[in-house]
Amino acid sequence: MTDGPMRVVVNDEEQYSIWWSDRELPPGWSATGFEGPRQECLDHIATVWTDLRPLSVRNRTP
């Protein structure tokens, strides 16, 4: 997972990760729109993913 541009992806539990820009997204994941070199994607995630709890856990325990 080193080559090529990546994009920031997120699943239904609002967990973030990265995926190759030129590849089909795995089921259950959607692109956030942010795209770039791997490290830039990770830096972006660091700013937007502030609560690492899955959405379902967040909803049950405010």
What residues make contact with another protein under the rule CB under 8 A? 1-3, 8-9, 11-13, 15-20, 25-29, 38, 41-43, 45-46, 49-50, 52-54, 56-57, 60-61
For the bound state, the minimum distance from the C-beta of residue 1 to another protein, rounded and expressed in Å, comes to 6
For the bound state, the minimum distance from the C-beta of residue 56 to another protein, rounded and expressed in Å, comes to 6
State how far the Cα of 9 lies from the Cα of 12, in Å rounded to an integer: 10
For the bound state, the minimum distance from the C-beta of residue 16 to another protein, rounded and expressed in Å, comes to 5
Burial class of residue 12, CB neighbours in 10 A (0-12, 13-18, 19+): exposed
- Determine the 3-state secondary structure of 35 from DSSP: strand
